[in-house]
Amino acid sequence: MLELIKEPWPWYVAGPLIGLTVPVLLILGNKSFGISSSLRHICAACIPANISFFKYDWKKELWNLFFVFGIFLGGIIASHYLINNAEISVNPKLKAELATYGITDFSNLVPAQLMNFASLLTLRGFITMVVGGFLVGFGTRYAGGCTSGHAIMGLSNLQLPSLIAAICFMAGGFLMANVILPIILSL
């Protein structure tokens, strides 16, 4: 059983499990699924400032903080006890293309040549980690939620803004992966 858990799960198992969180949250407490709102709850709880965005009863959303903590705890447990030591399966064409940018280590989920403290001091690393992180945070706030909130919860509730956001997320992802990322990796 443990070996089954260590292997990547196919989309037709993982997808429905993720999708089932929506009706469970709605039925059990009329709650919305989303991860990015937890940062707002943490800020509202920890920073006693006179900022209107953080003035609300964050205690009503305490369940969301426990949910996100569960994701964090699950990640720690998985990284310590469910490690699959096999090399990450990457398409050979992608491996060849990434090798032209100096990325050859596929022993982790994220290539070590991109995500480490030493590369943070390079232009490529700074753009990838700092600027990319800022843009993800800005986009999440600007779109009124993250991909999990819009693409899982919003689409299942037939919300037009979530459909527009999900289309923009996908278009941005395609643009980033096929046009912008090769430029950044060649720096």
46-64 pLDDT per residue, tens: 887 788 888 888 888 888 8
Instruction: Return the structure tokens found at 38.
Output: 């937890």
Burial tier of 8 (Cβ tally within 10 Å: 0-12, 13-18, 19+): exposed
Mean pLDDT of the chain: 87
pLDDT tens, residue by residue, 118-154: 888 999 999 999 999 999 888 888 888 888 788 888 8
pTM: 0.74
pLDDT in tens, 168-179: 999 999 999 999
- Portion of the chain with pLDDT greater than 70, in percent: 100
Cβ atoms within 10 A of the Cβ of 174, count? 10
Helix axes 21-29, 11-19, angle to 10 degrees: 20
Count CA atoms within 13 Å of residue 128 on its CB side.
Answer: 24
